[in-house]
Amino acid sequence: MRLSQIERDYEGRVDVRWRAFPLIPDHRPGRVSTPATAEGRRRAGAEEAGARFEPPPPGTALPASSLPALTASKAVEQQGPGVFASFHRAVFTAHFRDHLDIGRPDVLWRLAESSGVDMARFRDDCAGGGPHRAVMEDYAEAAGWFGVSALPTVIFGEKVSLVGAVPVERYRLLVDWMLAGEPGGLIPLDVRDPTGDVAGQSAVGQQTT
């Protein structure tokens, strides 16, 4: 995906950190896919060639809440970047390609097991409530401080955000500008022009020196 490409292209100079932003923070049972869901997946697949978005059949069960998957991700993140990346990919594939209900604890447990997660620690961390609190802190900060309202949103250096399915070239323009010390003090593109939104998490990109 685009952020993975940025990490590869700028290895050692850019750090990508994921923040949770639940699109469905409450509990809404009975959600199922519709023709609009399928169209959104087709559009996302056309915009993100590196990811597999499969339109779900009408009536496919959708997660009743975003919180279970995001809480599980926060718990796994504590076990290191490698296992987190594996779990992140597994959850993405389960939802967008395999049409599994990632709001169900049993589905998330299986995905964690297959991703090499330390399951005893995973269970204890989730039960302790820390991962859930971390999700809600991310959510409050994103909405209150950065004004996030749609996904994906990528925030560069805690200063500039791009919303929607933005071409990777626009990411590179901002990264290059920041790594060069923000010459001229002028952002090198119009960041106020969102190009759409796709369900997911928000990410923060920071340059390292």
Count CB atoms within 10 A of the CB of residue 25: 15
CATH superfamily of 24-146: putative protein disulfide isomerase domain (1.10.472.60)
* pLDDT tens, position by position, 89-147: 999 999 999 999 999 999 999 999 999 999 999 999 999 999 999 999 999 999 998 88
pLDDT-derived band at 205 (thresholds 50, 70, 90) equals: very low
pLDDT of residue 189: 66
* pLDDT tens, position by position, 178-200: 999 999 888 886 544 433 333 33
The closest alpha carbon to 158, from 21, 47, 19, belongs to 19
- Name the residue ranges covered by the structural domains of the chain: 1-21+148-209, 24-146
Distance, in Å, from the CA atom of 59 to the CA atom of 34, rounded to the nearest integer, reads 7
